A and B are shown apart, each in its own frame.
Chain A
């Protein structure tokens, strides 16, 4: 099964290499990894989607914890959370097809961010289902380029994912 890990790390040089290296070295599969600064400039937050049964993911979390730059790990898979991904799609768009494409864009509440002589570039944000759906709908027109940010996730409500003390995390630290 796929697990969503919220990982806060110190914003030190090499931290991404350390995390990525650990996954490849120990044979863990990353589905996606998104990273960026948090409200604290010294701290970055990674959202890592890993594939594996509970034993594997527990090992992943424990091994991540051994990295000195990793501050906190929460497996939020079983909690209520929102996740989002941003995708840009450059789609082939002959003048005759444009209206139809723009209609799709409206339906998905996406946006057109660039117009070329024969292409439209579309930006869409959403959860995985929505992103997959728009990709599927645009495919018949000819997708020339597609780039995804990878998923970011956050717990719902007052809980703070990075400081959330789930059972899992207690086990780990």
Chain B
């Protein structure tokens, strides 16, 4: 028997390439040494981040921007545990990701060996699946399965834990056999009977509302969604992750719904007689108090994950399937509808309750976001951190294209935006990328500015610098008697910091400086960090108080 002799690490890389992987975000260490040694001769591009969390978020941003699975790599123990937040983040937002970790050699497993962490155990609740590779001959199949699982059905992160001696063992390489996933299947088409039932319910509805989530973006169903909305003349509200799945500047768009949604989106949901939920999961930030969420509505729920149906609300017509396919099925059987009274009612709400802020000549975060939108003509890829700036971005940047808004929704991870922007820029080298950041969040993964500089990734970071942990401060103001416990920040000089990393730094304190600074940043071939010194008192409005009804908003 001749055949090629390959090490486990070489088989790993060969298998990754077979899956079309050309970029890995990672950070080396002892138990990953054989993998890094094999990378030395490989065509795969490795982006060395400055923290494993950065690698995981970069892989996440890469995946969300391109639709292709992101890959991150770390060593055992602390390297692996540093990935955990990034994996949890990808899990909550259904992002296709494969995380590879080094592990202590097989004989040392389970003995609290140096840098041993039970990473498959730790990540059990935050991965779609995981593997501890016990035999290099299984690697080919495992990698194939991992990518299949990560990218099909409801996408999610899959972890492959590689003991060092598995990586270094040399074996006779054989083409991987069939995948062995007898328990895994995902429905594609919706049940025809239910599709017809949905069509009947739609035909009978006078006041339909479409509630579209991240599933629309993931399945690439934005065209079908647009067709559906226009055919039915049904208004569309988006979840945070659904933004961009429907053009924000379309007359039928209601913007975001839920806690910081628009009043008209929430009112429409409150009064609709039919709610068509598409690739969304009735998160508590969306529904508020469940009893008063769409109280008069029949609910159609289209989702690829059967476990989401009936989890939080009772559904009248459940359709399990890929959102795009189900919408195509629906479009085939639907008749156009003219619902002018409903349209007029919604238009009246839109006029009466627009999103607004007090433009008093000071530097306002909302106006900066509008300016970024104007200058980039809405064509930038935008990531965010977590906080007020994130909500303002969702409210004021009218996302018109899918995969243009990349934000940490389910987990709400401060520190996501900058490494994610790096991943986005790697995946979309010719596009303008902005991380709209808070002064608190940016410091959670600021070290990744160095990664951007090293790899000449011209990401733009717009810090809406209010000097506080604004979103927490807002809750303290509204619900904790203005007792501002631990939410004041004394910050470094962000301009000098940017320069120290080799990036460009710009400070903006007046409205007139905003546009020139943005233009300079976009022109620059370097990463640029702009410190926008904004009003500290500004709050995100309107707002549904926690546990309240979405029809009763503050602000």
Contacts and interface: CB of A to CB of B under 8 A. Distances in A.
A146 to B, nearest CB: 31
Nearest to A14: B120
Contact of A173 (B124, B185, B305): B185
Most B CB contacts (10 A, CB to CB) among A55, A66, A72 go to A66
Contacts of A173: 185, 187, 306
A10 interface: yes
Contact of B149 (A9, A10, A21, A68): A68
Interface in A59-97: 59, 62-63, 65-72
A13 interface: yes
A13 B132 contact: yes
Nearest to A9: B183
A21 B305 contact: no
Nearest to A170: B191
Contacts of B129: 68
A147 to B, nearest CB: 27
Interface of A, secondary structure class, is helix
A31 B175 CA distance: 45
B121 interface: yes
Q: What is the size category of the interface that chain A forms with chain B?
A: 20 to 34
Given A62-B307, A70-B183, A25 B125 contact: yes
Interface in A20-64: 21-22, 25, 55, 58-59, 62-63
Contacts of A62: 306-307, 309
A17 interface: yes
A66 B305 CA distance: 9
B339 interface: no
A105 interface: no
Nearest to B129: A68
Contacts of A68: 128-129, 149, 181, 183-184
A17 B125 CA distance: 11
Interface string B172-186: 000000001111110
A18 interface: yes
Interface string B113-128: 0000000110011001
Contacts of A71: 182-183
A18 B183 CA distance: 14
B310 interface: yes
A10 B179 CA distance: 13
B311 interface: yes
Contact of B124 (A9, A21, A58): A21
A76 to B, nearest CB: 18
B135 to A, nearest CB: 12
Contacts of A22: 125
Contacts of B311: 59
B310 A18 contact: no
Contact of A10 (B134, B182, B310): B182
A112 interface: no
A67 B311 CA distance: 17
A63 B181 CA distance: 17
A172 interface: yes
B310 A65 contact: no
A75 to B, nearest CB: 14
B121 A17 contact: yes
Contacts of B310: 55, 58-59
Contacts of B309: 62
A21 B125 contact: yes
B149 to A, nearest CB: 6
Interface string A135-167: 000000000000000000000000000000000
Interface string A81-119: 000000000000000000000000000000000000000
Contacts of B132: 13-14
B121 A72 contact: no
Given A10-B182, A71-B183, A65 B306 contact: yes
A135 to B, nearest CB: 36
Interface in B183-200: 183-185, 187
Contacts of A172: 306
Nearest to B314: A55
A21 B123 CA distance: 11
Contacts of B124: 14, 17-18, 21
Given A10-B183, A70-B183, A71-B183, A65 B121 contact: no
A55 B184 CA distance: 23
Nearest to B306: A62
Given A10-B183, A67-B183, A71-B183, A59 B125 contact: no
A81 B125 CA distance: 33
B444 to A, nearest CB: 26
B149 A59 contact: no
29 contacts: A9-B183, A10-B180, A10-B183, A13-B134, A14-B124, A14-B132, A17-B121, A17-B124, A18-B124, A21-B125, A25-B125, A55-B310, A59-B307, A59-B311, A62-B309, A63-B307, A65-B183, A66-B305, A68-B128, A68-B129, A68-B149, A68-B184, A69-B183, A70-B183, A71-B182, A71-B183, A171-B306, A172-B306, A173-B306
Interface of A: 9-10, 13-14, 17-18, 21-22, 25, 55, 58-59, 62-63, 65-72, 171-173
Interface of B: 120-121, 124-125, 128-129, 132, 134, 149, 180-185, 187, 305-307, 309-311
Given A21-B124, A68-B149, 8 more contacts: A14-B124, A21-B125, A25-B125, A65-B307, A66-B128, A68-B184, A71-B182, A173-B306
